[in-house]
Structure 1
Amino acid sequence: MRPTDRTGLAIILSLVALTFFDAMGLIIKHLSSGYSAAELSAYRNLFGLVPSIIALWSSRAWRLSGRRLKLRQWKLAFLRGAVVTVAQLCFYASLGLMAFATASTITYASALFTTALAIPILGERVGWVRWSAVLVGFAGVIMVIQPGGTGFSLYVLLPLAASACYAFVGVTARLFDDDAPSPLVNLYSSVISLIGAALIAYFWGGFTPIASVNDMGWIMLMGVFGGIAVLFMVVSYRMTEQSNLAPFSYFGIPLAFALGWLFFDEAPWSTLFPGALLIATGGLLIVWRERSRSKTVAKLH
């Protein structure tokens, strides 16, 4: 543990961040009938610059480096921003086409994709425990997607594609130089995501005029909620190890179900269960294995 480790407070902040992320998703679903996923992504990224700039300005590592804005691996940062754009488009589109809880739950497959992508990208060796966890998790994904079922639609592949993209972004974050400040890397991604989403929205049919003051308020609130979530998540990750927080992220599955039922009268029991439980089980097995490996390495040193 680090001297500044405050795991309890970090867990609370991460859960608050998760709640704000879900609140942002609810607003996106509410606005999706009048605005395209690309438009909503552009607005989200515009507001997302605010927490990125605040996080960078408050970064001690960035100040010690002379407040440089140049990244040696800027091409990788640009690539990650482009992938984030695709992830947001897929996820935001799915929120307008599917039950809120179903779309949100499928994105939790990102932990499974992360394990699979770590092999070709990072050269990691994945043992039978983690591969078993991946298989369990993907069995859960298949149960939620229900390919071949009467209710199957290609729309369910959108949040799955989003989870793969988010996993790629997470894995490639480990390729940056150790002295590259994380807030600066995130700022690069935010700027590229904003540009990408704005261009897609422009060529997809242009920006729809904001219909009312209410819609403007919802759009601003969407950005504020997303910004608060990002800031809280960044702070929580600085307080403790990510492996300490990962198990609590699955609190988002019942939370998404409750919020979808409360605000949109959706209760997709037959779609989500027991598949959602297998997705969470697979993810938690991966977390457990990672923590076991970390403890073993620490003892050897």
Structure 2
Amino acid sequence: MKDASRYSNESGVGIACTVAGAGLLTTSDAFVKWLTDGYPVTQIIVVRGALILLPMFLLAWRLGKLKTLRVQQPGWQLLRALLFTASVFLFLNGLRFNPLAINTAIAFASPLIITALAVPLLRETIGWRRWAAIIVGFGGVLSIVRPFGETINIYALLPLACAVTGAFQDIITRRISDTESAFSVLLCSTIVTMIVAAFFVFEDTWRLPGAVDFSLLVLTGLLSGGAHYLLIETFVRAEAAVVVPFRYTALVWGLAIGFVVWGDIPSGLDWLGILLIVSSGIYIVHRESLRRRDAA
């Protein structure tokens, strides 16, 4: 286990990786949302994955880290890759129907889910403050999904399911960070996602992209690959309590891009939901940080 002094020394790098990764990933998601109007999600996943692999190998070679591509814990790597695959399918399909910022906000419910699952899975004791934050956060999800009357947003359940798979994915990432490099994790996740998508891609109508759309696909792959590498690297560089709050900067990007490109303006209930999800998620991370500090 990495000691606290190393985390302390590299916290700034971890925060920078988180902010940069969030911005790159949201921009990539915006390109994907644009492309889903004319291309199946499975085709986008396969093409994007192929475009991620080559730059990743070149970057690993350039940095002298080809040896770090070796997998040390194949079982955990495969499980994480399958969870990552599920998260990608759920999130990208959600982008087809939901505004960019709304899709992103609901997916950010994963810290709430991680905390709630800590009781049955990890047998942790959760104090009333964190339970209150969980309830408030899920109240924010309900404010966006609106499961009442004729205003229910069925498609909002896609990023919510993504939040569940993402929660387990982050737990495993943290567990294997001592032995697995960011390169090896990204490699396994990308390959497994491509294989799964390839099984379904032929059931959809494959479209040969034009020059503009192909350029967008290339950008999507490069941005997504860089983003996931940076976000994985954050767990190697710093404690989750330090870097997780900065993931929410993706919402700023999502709101700005959604407004400029699609003219999306969240409703009052959407704004309320975003505020509740973000504030409760940050509070939970803060409380867990205090709890670990007291235990030490």
In structure 2, the CA distance between the partners of 1:59 and 1:199, relative to structure 1 (3 Å rule), is farther
In structure 2, the CA distance between the partners of 1:181 and 1:101, relative to structure 1 (3 Å rule), is closer
Once the two structures are overlaid, the 10-residue window that deviates more, 102-111 or 248-257, is: 248-257
In the other structure, the counterpart of 1:205 is 204
Partner Cα separation in structure 2 for residue 68 and residue 8 of structure 1: 25
Q: What amino acid does structure 2 have at the position aligned with 1:222?
A: T
In structure 2, the CA distance between the partners of 1:23 and 1:177, relative to structure 1 (3 Å rule), is closer
Find 1:22's aligned residue among 20, 23, 26: 26
Find 1:32's aligned residue among 33, 36, 42: 36
Partner Cα separation in structure 2 for residue 68 and residue 229 of structure 1: 18
Q: What displacement does 1:130 show?
A: 2.1
Contact residue 133 and residue 285 of structure 1 kept, 8 A: yes
Structural mapping, 1:1-301, within 5 Å: 1-3=4-6, 5-50=9-54, 53=57, 63=67, 69-71=70-72, 73-176=73-176, 178-181=178-181, 183-202=183-202, 204-205=203-204, 208-298=206-296
In structure 2, the CA distance between the partners of 1:194 and 1:282, relative to structure 1 (3 Å rule), is same
Contact residue 102 and residue 271 of structure 1 kept, 8 A: no
- TM-score normalised by structure 1 residue count: 0.86
Partner Cα separation in structure 2 for residue 218 and residue 173 of structure 1: 29
Partner Cα separation in structure 2 for residue 116 and residue 219 of structure 1: 37
Q: What amino acid does structure 2 have at the position aligned with 1:272?
A: D
Contact residue 69 and residue 183 of structure 2 kept, 8 A: no
Once the two structures are overlaid, the 10-residue window that deviates more, 122-131 or 101-110, is: 122-131
The 3-state SS of whatever aligns with 1:171 is helix
After superposition, what is the alpha-carbon deviation per residue over 1:179-237, rounded to whole angstroms, capped at 9, x for unaligned?
A: 344543442222211211221223x325x122311111000000111122123334444
Contact residue 102 and residue 272 of structure 1 kept, 8 A: yes
The 3-state SS of whatever aligns with 2:264 is coil
Once the two structures are overlaid, the 10-residue window that deviates more, 73-82 or 240-249, is: 73-82
Partner Cα separation in structure 2 for residue 11 and residue 130 of structure 1: 24
Q: What displacement does 1:177 show?
A: 8.7
Partner Cα separation in structure 1 for residue 290 and residue 55 of structure 2: 34
Partner Cα separation in structure 1 for residue 242 and residue 69 of structure 2: 31
In structure 2, the CA distance between the partners of 1:68 and 1:278, relative to structure 1 (3 Å rule), is closer
Unaligned runs of at least 5 residues, structure 2: none
Q: What amino acid does structure 2 have at the position aligned with 1:162?
A: C
Q: What displacement does 1:259 show?
A: 1.3
Q: What amino acid does structure 1 have at the position aligned with 2:141?
A: V
Partner Cα separation in structure 1 for residue 173 and residue 240 of structure 2: 13
Contact residue 69 and residue 187 of structure 2 kept, 8 A: no
Once the two structures are overlaid, the 10-residue window that deviates more, 95-104 or 21-30, is: 95-104
Contact residue 114 and residue 168 of structure 1 kept, 8 A: yes
The 3-state SS of whatever aligns with 1:152 is coil
Partner Cα separation in structure 2 for residue 256 and residue 20 of structure 1: 11
Contact residue 121 and residue 172 of structure 1 kept, 8 A: no
Partner Cα separation in structure 1 for residue 35 and residue 177 of structure 2: 39
Q: What amino acid does structure 2 have at the position aligned with 1:212?
A: G
The 3-state SS of whatever aligns with 1:125 is coil
Identity of aligned residues (%): 27
Q: What amino acid does structure 2 have at the position aligned with 1:223?
A: G
Partner Cα separation in structure 2 for residue 196 and residue 30 of structure 1: 23
- TM-score normalised by structure 2 residue count: 0.87
Contact residue 33 and residue 96 of structure 2 kept, 8 A: yes
Partner Cα separation in structure 1 for residue 135 and residue 204 of structure 2: 41
Unaligned runs of at least 5 residues, structure 1: none
Once the two structures are overlaid, the 10-residue window that deviates more, 5-14 or 37-46, is: 5-14
Once the two structures are overlaid, the 10-residue window that deviates more, 9-18 or 164-173, is: 9-18
Once the two structures are overlaid, the 10-residue window that deviates more, 112-121 or 34-43, is: 112-121
